[in-house]
């Protein structure tokens, strides 16, 4: 019976594997159409000034409106697109769209809103990346100083010399850079002093525990203090409760982002909420 059970399990696992593979393949094919067929879109999540609760900037987050499967989150298709190389086209589209959207916002409302765009490792390491970026900036007319690129620790710690060169080139363009999901990778803290970056985004996993774990709180406080000594701004991601908000504010965190303030939203919705304080948990 035991043997049979194992065989059954094997068969089951095999089927699961095949099905998952099949699904990947069909999603990959669909992704090609998504890029061409206007199925990708950007939502923008507010980042608020910790001191005032007012809108400081936004993070662009991509979504895929699949014709049959509905909304597919980036956690599902970005890794696929990285495997196939489609991330290059997608990443270009995202950058271009985010810059155009913010230039359009400025034209319609007069408001200059800084925007952060997530950049995938493959995209960042590509030789043409900087030229591409400069081109996108000039096409959209967006001031470089209002664009920030979010890079994960993994990208920043690998291939360090080339990385530092690219970051330095970004800085001379005027574009800002942030470390995303800080604390989840294996970055060497000492390395931070060599990286020409502007901001650290504390990962949500720390924020989740900060109010009920003394160890987590100690790490969070340490990162904020260290970042400030390095003249880096700190953003806390994934603020969901008033208690977390107060905790991070008390610890001197500069900027806050999370469902407590607002979920990612389409540009049209954002446009109506530009002047509103996000301090009270309204947008749930
Ligand atoms: P990320 O860059 O760390 O983005 C933050 C993610 O946390 C977003 O998920 C956001 O919706 C979610 N989030 C924000 N506040 C809260 C909160 O209070 N609670 C919880 N539970 N979640 C919160 P999303 O949009 O599903 O994106 C997931 C990841 O996919 C991103 O993590 C980023 O790594 C990647 N991604 C998203 N958009 C892009 C893009 O345009 N390009 C690239 N290369 N990657 C992207
Ligand atoms: Mg991000
Ligand atoms: Mg993040
Ligand atoms: Mg994160």
pLDDT above 80: residue 68:
yes
| 24: confidence class by pLDDT, cuts 50, 70, 90 | confident
Residues 119 and 147 sit within 8 Å (Cβ to Cβ): no
For residue 104, how many other CB atoms are within 10 A of its CB? 15
Please give the Cα distance from 63 to 93 (Å, whole number).
12
Helix (H) or strand (E) holding 150: strand 147-152
Q: Over the stretch 81-99, which tens digit does the pLDDT of each residue have?
A: 999 999 999 999 999 999 9
For residue 47, how many other CB atoms are within 10 A of its CB? 28
Q: Tell which residue, 187, 276, 206, 282, has the closest CA to residue 247.
A: 206
Interface predicted TM-score (ipTM) of this complex, two decimals: 0.98
Q: Which of 173-177, 193-197, 214-218 has the lowest mean pLDDT?
A: 193-197
Tokens read off for 71: 């909304």
The pLDDT assigned to 275 comes to: 87
Which of 85, 116, 237 gets mutated to test ligand 1 (max ligand atoms within 8 A of its CB)?
237
Please give the Cα distance from 222 to 205 (Å, whole number).
16
Residues 95 and 101 sit within 8 Å (Cβ to Cβ): no
The pLDDT assigned to 145 comes to: 98
Bridge partners, residue 40, by sequence = 64
Q: Cα(61) to centroid of ligand 4, in Å? A: 12
Please give the Cα distance from 6 to 228 (Å, whole number).
55
Which of 40, 45, 74, 122 gets mutated to test ligand 1 (max ligand atoms within 8 A of its CB)?
74
For residue 186, how many other CB atoms are within 10 A of its CB? 7
The residue whose CA is least distant from atom 10 of ligand 1 is: 264
Residues 148 and 177 sit within 8 Å (Cβ to Cβ): yes
Bridge partners, residue 247, by sequence = none
Q: Which atom of ligand 1 lies closest to the CA of 120?
A: 44
DSSP 42-97: EEEEEEEETTT--EEEEEEEEEEEETTTEEE-HHHHHHHHHHHSTHHHHHHHHHHH
């Amino acid at each position: 019976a035991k043997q049979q059970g194992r065989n059954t399990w094997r068969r089951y696992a095999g089927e699961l594997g095949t099905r998952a593979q099949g699904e990947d393949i069909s999603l990959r094919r669909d992704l090609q159409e998504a890029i061409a067929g206007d199925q990708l879109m950007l939502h923008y999540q507010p980042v608020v000034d910790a001191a005032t609760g007012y809108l400081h900037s936004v993070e662009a987050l991509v979504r895929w409106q699949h014709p049959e499967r509905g909304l597919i989150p980036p956690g599902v298709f970005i890794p696929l697109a990285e495997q196939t190389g489609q991330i290059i086209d997608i990443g270009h589209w995202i950058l271009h769209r985010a810059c155009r959207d913010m230039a359009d916002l400025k034209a319609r409302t007069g408001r200059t809103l800084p925007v952060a765009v997530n950049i995938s490792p493959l995209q960042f390491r590509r030789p043409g990346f900087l030229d591409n970026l400069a081109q996108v900036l000039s096409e959209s007319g967006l001031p470089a100083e209002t664009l920030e690129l979010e890079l994960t620790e993994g990208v920043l710690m690998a291939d360090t010399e080339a990385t530092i060169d690219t970051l330095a080139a970004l800085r001379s363009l005027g574009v800002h850079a942030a470390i995303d999901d800080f604390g989840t990778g294996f970055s060497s803290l000492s390395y931070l002093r060599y990286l020409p970056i502007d901001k650290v985004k504390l990962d949500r996993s720390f924020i989740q525990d900060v109010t009920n774990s003394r160890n987590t709180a100690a790490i969070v406080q340490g990162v904020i203090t260290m970042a400030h000594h390095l003249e880096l701004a700190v953003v806390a991601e994934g603020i969901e409760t008033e208690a977390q908000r107060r905790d991070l504010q008390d610890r001197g965190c500069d900027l806050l982002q999370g469902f407590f303030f607002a979920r990612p939203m389409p540009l049209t919705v954002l446009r109506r909420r530009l002047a509103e304080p996000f301090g009270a948990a309204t947008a749930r």
